[in-house]
Amino acid sequence: MSDSSPTNQAELTVSELAARLKRTIETNYDHVVVRGELGRVTLAKSGHMYADLKDEKAVLNTIMWRSQVERLPFRPEEGLEVIATGRLSTYEGRSAYQLIASTMRPAGAGALMQLLEERKKKLAAEGLFDPKHKKPIPYIPRVIGVVTSPTGAVIRDILHRIRERFPVRVIVWPALVQGEQAAAQVTAGIRGFNAMTGADRPDVLIVARGGGSIEDLWPFNEEIVVRAAFDSKIPLISAVGHETDTTLIDYVSDRRAPTPTGAAEMAVPVRTELILSTGEIGDRLKRALTRALSRSRDKLAAARLPRPEMLLQPARQRLDFASANLPKAALALTQKARLKLSHLQLSPAMLKYEIRQGRQRLCDIAVRARPALMRLIEKRTAALNTEAKMLETLSYQATLKRGYTIVRDIDGRLIRSAAIASGTDQFRVSFADGDIAAQPLGGDPPKTTPRKPGQQGSLF
């Protein structure tokens, strides 16, 4: 046996022994997963969390630094059963070992469902699920943005369905859809699409992943994902899990699809059905226009204006009636005036006054009528001068002044051809300034008879 007496062992200080214990524990327990119930929970001003993780037999001091606390998907509370992942270490100042946790989640589906209900109530109270915030999905989008894993069957199903129904441009934002980083990446995809500008900005978004357990779908229950979907200015369709799966993003999205394929069907119409529908609408529109034109044509034919004489017939008839009644009316007025005059007993002074008033009214009428009469005379004079000028322009004297002549025989009849003139012994040719006697070639020289200006020329 070897000598193991204390005198042969090296002496260690307390600090050295504590350091060796620390190295041993951290080396052998650098990754542990512990399940237990949260006891005392303290959130320091620095943001770090200090808690007790316990069961019926032991208590384990637990620390979680601020950066990990901010990523917790739930609110740590005393009495909640959790599963913590981290490493063991020691705190030399108190000679105590402790768990430095990197992640923590509620243990079991029951705890997650309880957390989900609490978060749902909180977000609903803030109005995030109110239907008044829902935006309509565009009927025919130009670009569709999809936030999902680029390697799964989900994106293949979406692309196939869109290509089959109505091919449009699809932009995929790669994101994890399960695990600790999934929530942050899905949030980045939603906000990234909303930050885009120009022709590449999607008209509608689809957030999708396949089915799974509540733990698998948990990233879509995170507040950061729900609030990003609520803040999206682009209409958003959620397609997370199968038809029976429900996550919080389903409540805040503008439309919820039972499956990713269903989301593709909501995003675009069927192109062939749209073409048929457009053709039917076009045919109905043509028929409606034809009926409207026919009705308008019938109304126009019914409202066609009558002939002018038909318009004047009623007025002529009224004039005839008035003309027939005029003598009777004039006689009645005359008799009435005589009767009235016979009842009047006018004195000579009154009679003189009435005569003066009548003369004054006649003078006034004459004064008022004189300008109108003068204008009428001027108008008629101008019209007469115009007609005189036109008559002078169209007279045969004006024609002669332009170089034309008139040929007549001795009886004053017009000679209109050379054949008639050659058979005449003598004839008269009228110019603008006078007439001359003429005969066919070979006869005696003709005599010239000058005509005074303005005088009509005689033949002989």
Asked if 165 and 269 touch (Cβ cutoff 8 Å), the reply is yes
Residue 5 confidence (pLDDT): 47
**Domain boundaries along the sequence of the chain:** 13-106, 116-269, 335-394, 400-450
Residue 440 confidence (pLDDT): 81
Residue 272 confidence (pLDDT): 84
Sheet holding 448-450, edge to edge: 406-408, 427-430, 434-438, 448-450
Instruction: Kindly report each contact of residues 225-228 with a partner whose C-beta sits within 8 Å and lies 24 or more positions away, as own/partner.
Output: 225/183, 225/186, 225/187, 225/190, 225/249, 226/123, 226/128, 226/251, 226/252, 227/128, 228/186, 228/187, 228/190, 228/191
How many CA atoms are closer than 13 Å to the CA of 224, on its beta-carbon side? Answer: 18
Classify 302 as helix, strand or coil.
Answer: helix
Q: Compute the distance between CA of residue 220 and CA of residue 188 in angstroms, rounded to an integer.
A: 13
What CATH superfamily is the domain 116-269?
Succinyl-CoA synthetase domains (3.40.50.261)
Asked if 427 and 412 touch (Cβ cutoff 8 Å), the reply is no
Residue 257 confidence (pLDDT): 93
Q: One-letter amino acid identity for 260?
A: P
Asked if 239 and 208 touch (Cβ cutoff 8 Å), the reply is yes
- Per-residue pLDDT tens listing for the chain (460 residues): 444 444 456 687 877 777 888 888 878 888 889 988 888 888 888 889 999 898 888 888 899 998 888 888 677 878 788 888 998 888 776 777 889 899 888 776 666 777 788 889 999 999 999 999 999 999 999 999 999 999 989 999 999 999 999 999 999 999 999 887 899 999 999 999 999 999 999 999 999 998 888 778 889 999 999 999 999 999 999 999 887 788 999 999 999 999 999 999 999 999 888 888 888 898 899 999 999 998 888 877 766 656 666 666 777 777 777 777 777 877 888 888 777 766 665 566 776 777 777 778 777 777 777 787 788 888 888 887 787 777 777 777 777 777 788 888 888 888 888 888 887 878 888 887 888 888 887 655 554 445 544 444 443 3
Q: DSSP strand E in 141-279: where? A: 143-148, 169-174, 204-209, 236-240, 255-256
Question: Domain 13-106 belongs to what architecture?
Answer: Beta Barrel (2.40)
Residue of 185, 259, 175, 245 whose CA lies nearest to 216? 245
Residue 176 confidence (pLDDT): 93
Q: DSSP strand E in 134-251: where? A: 143-148, 169-174, 204-209, 236-240
